[in-house]
Amino acid sequence: MSVPSVATSIIIKNCPHTDANCDFDQTDSTFDIKQFPIPDELPQNTCLVKTLLLSNDPHQRLSIHKNQDASRSFAAPLVPGDIMTSLGIVEIVKSNSAKYSSGQVVLGLTRWADYAVLSDCDLHQSINVPFEYPLEYYLSIFGITGLSAYFGLVDVGKVGRDSVVCVSAASGATGSMAIQIAKNVLGASKVIGISGSDSKCKFVEELGADICFNYHDDDWKLKFGQYLGDQFVDVFFDCVGGDIL
């Protein structure tokens, strides 16, 4: 594979207070496009990678929020001039790392760029070629969302066939995986979803939930209690915190 001389990247132009402005070339644009030279010699323990797939996740919005409290985040915030980060699947083009070699396909924390130089610490999992499943599955079912749901329910929650499971943010990436695993894989006796609209609740029930409550309904807590009757929730898979928790 030929090695390019420059990488085209999407950088942070302005950190937004509210909605991101994804249009380019405006005064308040959130992003800008910039090219960076690719070094001929890679620093030790780094790899030049080619982006194959990027994941779009809620934490990305938090990472670019203006004047955010860094102590409340699990990752350092991004500032203007930084290249936008993302979980993604990349191909190793050139390596100066003992962990990876050219041609490998790897899941890791990458950049919004066609090519990037990454520390091998940001590369998490090698994916066998030829791929057994569609490549995008490794960012969802076999990625952080699917694994978080699976191990949270199995290793932490010890969910079994007699379990009553409740999942908040049940239509979200991790919540929707938790619903499906709890009901369709682990066979929990009752799987309850909590979500923020009737259409989302319908989607959650289509995934396998026995019932889903819209937390915007004034009487949803009453209906929740009536549905449970004398039962209790054995495992609450919480994706929200705050008042819901």
DSSP bridge pairs for 126? 106
Which residue in this structure is represented by tokens 């760029």? Answer: 113
Nearest residue to 116 (alpha-carbon basis) of 229, 224, 9: 9
Cα(153)–Cα(148) distance, integer angstroms: 8
100 and 12 assigned to the same domain: yes
pLDDT score recorded for residue 244: 84
Please count the residues of the chain: 245
120 and 13 assigned to the same domain: yes
Q: In CATH, what number is assigned to the domain containing residue 116?
A: 3.90.180.10
Can you give the residue range of the structural domain that contains 148?
144-237
On whether residue 245 sits in a domain, the answer given is: no
- Tokens for 50? 């080619």
Alpha helices, DSSP H only, in 86-230?
144-151, 173-180, 198-207, 220-228
On whether residue 220 sits in a domain, the answer given is: yes
Q: In CATH, what number is assigned to the domain containing residue 207?
A: 3.40.50.720
End-to-end Cα separation, the chain, in angstroms: 50
pLDDT score recorded for residue 1: 66
pLDDT per residue of the chain (245 residues) written in tens, 0 to 9: 677 899 999 999 999 988 999 999 999 999 999 999 999 999 999 999 999 999 988 788 888 988 877 777 777 889 999 999 999 999 999 999 999 999 999 999 999 999 999 999 999 989 988 888 999 999 988 888 999 999 999 999 999 999 999 999 999 999 999 999 999 999 999 999 999 999 999 999 999 999 999 999 999 999 999 999 999 999 999 998 888 87
89 and 163 assigned to the same domain: no
Q: How many domains does the chain have?
A: 2
Backbone angles phi, psi at 222, to 5 degrees: -65, -45
83 and 156 assigned to the same domain: no
Q: What is the dihedral of CA 137, 244, 206, 176, to 10 degrees?
A: 10
Give the Cα-Cα-Cα angle 208, 210, 211 (nearest 5 degrees).
Answer: 115
101 and 215 assigned to the same domain: no
On whether residue 242 sits in a domain, the answer given is: no
Between the CA of residue 79 and those of 76, 91, 113, 133, what are the distances in Å?
Answer: 10, 27, 17, 36
Helix (H) or strand (E) holding 195: strand 190-195
39 and 125 assigned to the same domain: yes
131 and 149 assigned to the same domain: no
Which residue in this structure is represented by tokens 């979803």? Answer: 193
